[in-house]
Amino acid sequence: MERDFTYRVYRDLLTAAQDHGYEILSVREYLTREELPERLLVMRHDVDRKVENALDMAEIEASLGATASYYFRAIDKTFEPELFRAVAALGHEVGYHYEDLDTADGDLATARRSFERNLDRFREHVPVDTVSMHGNPLTPHDNRDVVESLDLAEYDLAGEVYLSFDFSEVVYFSDTNRTWYEEKTIVNDWPVGPSEKPTQVESTAELVDLLETGSIPRLYLLVHPNRWADSTAEWALEYSKDVVTNGGKWGLWVVRSLRGDDQSGDSVV
Ligand SMILES: [Zn+2]
């Protein structure tokens, strides 16, 4: 069976959507277009780490004429102005993946100042029209509280990825935990409970099947580029598994290195 959550599978997903009449849109386009197509797929990417994967995905999408939104955290490892410009130049939206209530340790006034400052830092390089909440299961705060306390129009923002959506209009699917299946989770990023979803899928192949039926005309996908691998990494992972099977410690080390991003625990959404 083909490995899921690879670039190849991602490309197949986009192609299947387009072949069945779904237009792939950014968050900004969804929120600001006067008329929306009958079938659409809002594509949102939260970039928590591994910025190079974001550029890979942005290129895959651009090659297919699809538009998506990329939200970058303001931390050192993801605040890469050159990359923001490269992603925007491919026709995508770049936004701020905010976590100011966490960094302000829950102090709302400090968090608002930090949000404003970070928004300005992004806007020195690219236009920013929408923002996306970063969820951290290790803190008790809900970062959305900051944006909820603001008048978005005052900040020239067209919307926020949860607060500005009616999730009865678009059906939400997220690749958190490398499955599309939504379970009750400690991560506070699900807009509706699993029981309220009209349908669930587990693998990307099942999501493709769903698109082929056309039964859900409007979807909203949250895709974390760092959770998807290109074919070289895929090969390395397969290879290291063989080494582990043979009892090599080196292989275990490779597996840990390749999967390290999932075990750091600093953020999962
Ligand atoms: Zn995040």
Per residue in 188-226, pLDDT tens?
555 666 566 778 899 999 999 999 999 999 999 999 999
Ligand 1 midpoint to CA 214 (Å): 29
State the pTM of this model.
0.85
What pLDDT, on a 0 to 100 scale, did the predictor assign at position 186? 44
Mention every residue, 6+ apart, whose C-beta is less than 8 A from residue 78: 47, 48, 49, 51, 72, 97
Ligand 1 midpoint to CA 267 (Å): 6
Residues within 5 A (CB) of ion ligand 1:
46, 48, 134, 269
Ligand 1 midpoint to CA 218 (Å): 23
Per residue in 44-88, pLDDT tens?
999 999 999 999 999 999 999 999 999 999 999 999 999 999 999
Ligand 1 midpoint to CA 135 (Å): 6
State the DSSP H helix or E strand holding residue 89, giving kind and residue range, or none if neither. helix 81-89
Q: What one-character-per-residue DSSP string does 214-244 give?
A: T--SEEEEEE-GGG-B-HHHHHHHHHHHHHH
